[in-house]
Structure 1
């Protein structure tokens, strides 16, 4: 039995021991992993993040913040972050975040443009963006200076800096139908294109920059000639009509062609060499004209059919062109004169057999000498169908002498009237003379003469009737006698007439006598001694 006293003692409080948890709860793993991934992404972005640049465009068409990519050779090098309108509303500002490896695209001469479907002279481009959307293209610069803001190009560049080839400059009066991207041809093969053009500072012409691809740039020599190959080149000559063109594209969009004179190319031209751009191939292949000389011509006739640009030639050789025509009143002669200003190139004629130019006399001395020899200008018809005229220089030895004032500028060259005008003047003079002929008086005299002739014919008829009555019987008798005479002669000359038979007998006798004489002659030739001795047969007897 237990002791009751012991049972009354207080019970001890139990000691609670807390069990230790060594493993964390699984629910905390998710945020921890997410945080780690986020930190890794941020770290990666910070590591791969490159510089930021601002691009300005006229419009944000096709661009979208956070989606539009920046590409170089179809490799993404950045992304558009924001698109904002400029304060003055003249353009949009596009913030682009470049990647770390695209740091070199901050060079000052880097170019950016928007790639979207486009149709221009170089063809159709950007068709791939119809599905993928527009993107920003880039062309890396080479400058050591960097920039944070760039002006985007509205038109994609034709030639990028990674293209292989050379650029050359062409000077022209105008661009014609040419545009950026127009093709450049060599022997009808496309070897390049027009990269850019700009107006000259003085406004008198334009400068075009053409890019020739590798390996065709070696065909551009220092003596190469360039010309417009746009449209159709139609030539009408003695052999017919010739139609020439480089390709169908040049007819619609224009183009340029080049070649060396006589296919003899000189040393290769260096990059950025300047060439002249001619209007056509014939003009391009001509030899240099040398200095021009301006002459003034005065014509006393109509200038219909003559226009600026008309040819000035010397015996079929084109040596210049007409610059302007006009009309002025000569107060001293009290008549109108038609001044024509022409520009000629004397070097086209002053070449000797060796191709060298004469330099012994001055240009004015040569002109004075030629005028003394009869050099004159004359207006002639070049085309009877169109009525176009041209100015011809030729020698007229019988022309009256004229003195040339070499101190005058421009020098006045004497002229000769056109042969057609002379014919017209002669026809007019003949017409005036015909008007002075008294046709009415001649008609009256002619009627009187016809009346007299009528009376004379009546008298002749009476005389013929009288002769018929008086002379006809005697003429009939004479004709009968003539017939008798002819009949007698016919009988005499007939084959069976006695005269013809006697004639035949006589001719036979003459023939026999001739035969005997020929026999005697032959015998005497063989025996000439028989004339003295006689025949041998006679001696034997």
Structure 2
């Protein structure tokens, strides 16, 4: 009631408690966090794997350059139940990395001939690695690689395609060598059934890709290369890695220009060796035929053709098609051998002008004794080569034709000439009457034996005569020596003149010594008597002095 007694007005006031602010704030923060998470999360992608070995939901990470860019969310089988479908959530900043060229693969410990990889997963566990070159349209569906790529996408360098019509000699991961240094690898292999050619997609790492030019040649350096040919025995090896696995090397052969640099995918042939790769700089050949009447065993396609020891070409074909093969069994039929003389090897231009020069030169030389022969280049293997040389004592002939090829006349090789000489000697021996030769030889041996006996008898007689002569000479010399001794002794005998003279000399010597005895005694007593003049003193002898003393005492 009011003070004036009137009743008070009572109204109900509705208010919200402050306690409700806590859930409201929590809801707002949750909503904000949800929105922030939703707005900042990356896209979902699907990756198909062969199997889910080592993959775990919520644990397996997706990495690029060892930085986490995603995480596996679900793992399930594909609809055909043949593979595994992995759904992963990528980070927001990885949107531009998801291209059709992007590659994914599971990283596990691996041991192969190319090395050991993925050992860090023994501690951290399996993870999914990715690489991209940022080319092509965006994509969300991918198929994982069964093994790590040889060259991840985006690696700087150059892709080239190598081809070979030989057997499958290389595999993925085999090295590409430059001067003993590994600079690339084989990435993939493709066989073209129509061409019957094997293509190898190969990657050359930067900066070595700058070495690839239009004149670059690739050749096989697998294992140890052994070559036994007309030039001898050769053993070569490239690097320790190629001793275990296969590999190729590349470079510009000596004598060739470097050529223009290659900046896009190009095709190159794989040659069997460096020598065969270097042969390609001689592209043109002047072709000739030599008709060989001897055996061609030991002669192979590619064998050298030499002029006075200098290589000028090689053998191109032996017994080419459409030759007289049906007449092999006929006597006197020669075997055609096609050879090529390369203008580039004789300081001529490697073109039609050089070939024309070679043809004119050979035609002139053939008329003046230019001949071909097969020579042994290696005694161990029996490998042959074609030798071209000028001969002075051969008849002049004109150039003939064989299947449109000019024919260079041939002569027998050294072995055939030796064989002919041996055969001639054997024929002469066969024509001899061996019985008469045997009787004549026996008679000659009897005569020789009789002559020998006569010589032995004569030698014995001569030896006896020499012995008698020597004995007589010794006796005469001994007698003369004895006579000399007797004469000498008679000269010294008693009563001889020599003996008397010796005795007289000895007496005279004794007398002179007695005369000198007083002088020697005086010098002994007074050495200065020879210099100073003194009165002579009586010479007193010991015996006389003794007598005088005795007389005084009496």
Q: 1:475 aligns to what? A: none
Q: 2:373 aligns to what? A: 378
**Are the structure 2 counterparts of residues 86 and 418 from structure 1 closer, same or farther at C-alpha, using a change threshold of 3 Å?**
farther
Cα distance, 1:116 vs. partner? 1.9
Q: 1:98 aligns to what? A: 90
Establish whether residue 435 from structure 1 lines up as the match of residue 430 from structure 2.
yes
SS in 2 for 1:444: helix
Cα distance, 1:433 vs. partner? 1.6
Establish whether residue 212 from structure 1 lines up as the match of residue 205 from structure 2.
yes
**Are the structure 2 counterparts of residues 332 and 55 from structure 1 closer, same or farther at C-alpha, using a change threshold of 3 Å?**
closer
**Are the structure 2 counterparts of residues 449 and 167 from structure 1 closer, same or farther at C-alpha, using a change threshold of 3 Å?**
closer
1:341-395 deviation per Cα after TM superposition (whole angstroms, max 9, x unaligned): 545242244425x999854837655554454444443222221122222333334
Q: For 1:203, which of 196, 214, 218 is the aligned residue?
A: 196
SS in 2 for 1:79: strand
SS in 2 for 1:382: strand
Establish whether residue 420 from structure 1 lines up as the match of residue 412 from structure 2.
no
**Are the structure 2 counterparts of residues 254 and 305 from structure 1 closer, same or farther at C-alpha, using a change threshold of 3 Å?**
same
1:9-34 deviation per Cα after TM superposition (whole angstroms, max 9, x unaligned): xxxxxxxxx999976999x98x9899
Gaps spanning 5+ residues in structure 1: where? 1-17, 465-541
Cα distance, 1:304 vs. partner? 3.4
1:424-483 deviation per Cα after TM superposition (whole angstroms, max 9, x unaligned): 12212211221221121233355567778999999x99xx9xxxxxxxxxxxxxxxxxxx
Distance 1:401 1:311 in 2: 26
Q: For 1:77, which of 69, 77, 80 is the aligned residue?
A: 69
Distance 1:125 1:402 in 2: 72
1:137-164 deviation per Cα after TM superposition (whole angstroms, max 9, x unaligned): 2122433423333232223223334333
Q: 1:361 aligns to what? A: 356
**Are the structure 2 counterparts of residues 450 and 347 from structure 1 closer, same or farther at C-alpha, using a change threshold of 3 Å?**
closer
**Contact 1:231-1:245 at 8 Å conserved across structures:** yes
With the length of structure 2 as denominator, give the TM-score of the two structures.
Answer: 0.63
Q: 2:127 aligns to what? A: 135
Gaps spanning 5+ residues in structure 2: where? 1-11, 459-554
1:199-230 deviation per Cα after TM superposition (whole angstroms, max 9, x unaligned): 4672345354332323x444555555544444
SS in 2 for 1:433: helix
**Contact 1:50-1:97 at 8 Å conserved across structures:** yes
Structural RMSD (CA) = 4.8
Cα distance, 1:398 vs. partner? 4.2
**Contact 1:159-1:211 at 8 Å conserved across structures:** no
**Are the structure 2 counterparts of residues 126 and 411 from structure 1 closer, same or farther at C-alpha, using a change threshold of 3 Å?**
farther
Q: For 1:320, which of 297, 301, 314 is the aligned residue?
A: 314
Cα distance, 1:291 vs. partner? 2.4
Q: For 2:340, which of 344, 358, 382 is the aligned residue?
A: 344
| Equivalences for residues 382-393 of structure 1 within 5 A | 382-393=377-388
**Contact 2:370-2:389 at 8 Å conserved across structures:** yes
**Are the structure 2 counterparts of residues 23 and 412 from structure 1 closer, same or farther at C-alpha, using a change threshold of 3 Å?**
same
Once structures 1 and 2 are overlaid, which stretch shifts more, 448-457 or 84-93? 448-457
Q: 1:536 aligns to what? A: none
Cα distance, 1:45 vs. partner? 4.2
Distance 1:244 1:384 in 2: 21
Q: 2:104 aligns to what? A: 112
Q: 2:295 aligns to what? A: 302
Distance 1:401 1:413 in 2: 12
**Contact 2:219-2:273 at 8 Å conserved across structures:** yes
Establish whether residue 145 from structure 1 lines up as the match of residue 137 from structure 2.
yes
**Are the structure 2 counterparts of residues 116 and 101 from structure 1 closer, same or farther at C-alpha, using a change threshold of 3 Å?**
same
**Are the structure 2 counterparts of residues 310 and 58 from structure 1 closer, same or farther at C-alpha, using a change threshold of 3 Å?**
farther
Aligned length: 443
Distance 2:420 2:336 in 1: 23
Question: Is the radius of gyration larger for structure 1 or structure 2?
Answer: 2
SS in 1 for 2:356: coil
